[in-house]
Amino acid sequence: MTPRVRGADNQPKMSSRLRRRPLFAVCLLCAAVALSAQEPTRVATRETMRPEILGTHGIVAGGRHYSVSAGVRILQQGGNAIDAGVATVFAASTVEISHFGFGGESPAMIYDAKTHEVLVINGQGTAPKAATPDVFSAKGRVDGNGPLGATIPAMLDAMALALETKGTMRLEQVMQPAIEYADGFPMYAFLRDFFTSERKTTEQYEWSAKTYYPGGRIPDVGEIFRQPNLAATLRAIVDAEKAAFGRTHDRVAAIRAGRDAFYTGAIAHRIADADRVAGGVFSYEDLASYHGQIEQPVVTTFHGFDVYKAGPWNQGPVLLQTLNILEGIDLKRMGPNSADYIHTVHEAIKLAYDDRNSLYGDPAFAKVPIVGLLSKPYAAQRRALIGARASLDHRPGNPFPFDPDVKPPSLRYMPHAQGLKSATGVGDTTCVDVVDQDGNLFSATPSSGWLLGGAFIAGDTGVPLSNRMQVFDLDPLSPNVLAGGKRPRTTLTPTIVLKDGKPFLAVSTPGGDSQDQQVLNVLLNIFVFGMGIQEAIEAPRINSLHPFSSFDNHESQPGVLEIEGRIPADVRQALTDRGHKLKVLGPYAMSTGVVAAGVDPKSGTLRGGADPRRERYIFGW
């Protein structure tokens, strides 16, 4: 653990004269020690494995030290939080390829300190237009890997949109670290482990084998790993931007030209051709017509904090629903991670996620009663369902009476598993959160294009394609049923929190379905129990497996609760006695990695924290 003891016993600096007089120096040192012994020792009441990071210029938090260094570099060059966040995401797409690649997606949220507005960047790609339930009906579920597993690449579009809207720099600047990493970075152990475990599933694809296993071998830790085809693609994007800026001297027009080099030029043709040759259904038109959107967030208040999330094309509102349900309960009286507290939080999670699975979907295709879902009276109705014992049932609610503008469907969708479970594991995600000296906040959850289960690289572009198609349902009653041009109800869920209208926190995590549960764990520790950011992140966690999964065959494990073993045995026994089915994990073994960056409302100092789980990284000054 990082020691939190701070006394007044530091050695005084010695002049050159004192260095020549060691006996006198020793006497001075002894006197200093004697004086320090008379002063009270300041001991922190709570210990953490890592210290909370403080600063005045900026803080960048993310998945790996390589990614974070890219964002810090941009802040040092005069960029704002959005410039730094975009650079960090681009860098992550080249160095965190076990969990995220350039052809993936990256929903993002921004708080603009000048306009005091919160914006959502809809960075989730759509299904190819030729993708229909019939394509997957024989399997009973949608592919999670390979040429049929990919939605349209959305990350570049989303980051370009964030940059042109709220950034100050150009693609040439914010992509430079990523280009350098694509040229080569030292292989690290965490990534190499996935190169080893996912080799068989990845080498089945010709260009994936050539890209990730050059010469038919796995790069050693410390060996420079190069992605020359990806580097060429990144340079083509920057070259197009530079040429446009040279003609127009218009930053926004130049960014769009760089973006278009990927979506409407030769690169798009090569991506579509590679996908189709391998058995996919991409078309050039799918890429050429793709555009993300800037949207307004949804929001709720909890204990004086305003929590902002993306809309119901995203699982984000489930966090707000859970907070609304818990708002009417005295959690502080129960105590952190007591049996009463964990029981209550778990039951609230189940209720909110049952609504997610039965009612959320892309609003361009489905009528979602989001006003009703987020109404406080509806939350009170749901809260009343929490009993003394754990529920093993799925209980979707009826928010339609609380949202008169949306008519209920004639037949309600009841979530269920679909098809047989695959032999490959479920993939995952990374995260990026940034705050700058002006109080701008950036939060993103980049994902897909991962090695997990086998990465599919689109020919000689070097671009690994997405894995998000599997989130779709095949049941026609589902608001999340697969349709060409539709966004799957993604699990990628950035978060912005304001306090009294001022920036408080940007927070995100990997973890699939658990993302909003893990952020909930952390936010409750802060909002209810007054913990600092790092302490709140490191505290023991729970995660429900009761909700129907967004991945693979969408199975549910009714009543199952993952719980870290640091939670006392008597609490775990009390939960078992109430009917919870516990899956006890190691002390810090929850498969997640929360990072956060924000502003201390009392001092105005910037602060942030990073999870020791998953080896998250953070730097600020």
Q: Is the pLDDT of residue 435 over 70?
A: yes
Distance of alpha carbon 441 from alpha carbon 110, whole angstroms: 6
**270-309 tens-digit pLDDT:** 999 999 999 999 999 999 999 999 999 999 999 999 999 9
**133-187 tens-digit pLDDT:** 999 999 999 999 999 999 999 999 999 999 999 999 999 999 999 999 999 999 9
pLDDT band at 26 (very low <50, low <70, confident <90, very high): very low
Distance of alpha carbon 193 from alpha carbon 216, whole angstroms: 16
Please state whether beta strands 117-122 and 108-112 pair in parallel, antiparallel, or not at all (unpaired).
antiparallel
Q: Is the pLDDT of residue 409 over 60?
A: yes
**590-612 tens-digit pLDDT:** 999 999 999 999 999 999 999 99
- Within 13 Å and on the Cβ side, how many CA atoms surround 397? 31
More confident residue, 46 or 550: 550
pLDDT of residue 428: 77
Of 528, 503, 538, give the one whose Cα is nearest residue 59.
503
Predicted TM-score (pTM) above 0.85: yes
Q: Say what angle helices 155-166 and 251-263 make with each other, to 10 degrees.
A: 180
- Give, in degrees to the nearest 5, the angle at Cα 131 between 125 and 136: 120
Q: What is the CA radius of gyration of the chain?
A: 25
**Region of residue 304 (left: phi > 0; alpha: psi -120 to 50; beta: else):** left
Q: Which residues, other chains included, contact 620 with Cβ-Cβ below 8 Å and sequence gap of 6+?
A: 53, 54, 55, 57, 58, 59, 60, 597, 606, 607, 608
Chain centre distance of CA 340 = 29
**467-488 tens-digit pLDDT:** 999 999 999 999 999 999 999 9
Q: Is the pLDDT of residue 413 over 90?
A: yes
Percent over 70 (pLDDT), the chain? 92
Does the domain made of 53-296+416-620 have the CATH classification 3.60.20.40? Answer: yes
**509-525 tens-digit pLDDT:** 999 999 999 999 999 99
Compute CA distances 58 → 144, 172, 534, 590, whole Å: 37, 22, 17, 29
pLDDT of residue 427: 65
Beta carbons of 31 and 591 less than 8 angstroms apart: no
Q: Is the pLDDT of residue 250 over 60?
A: yes
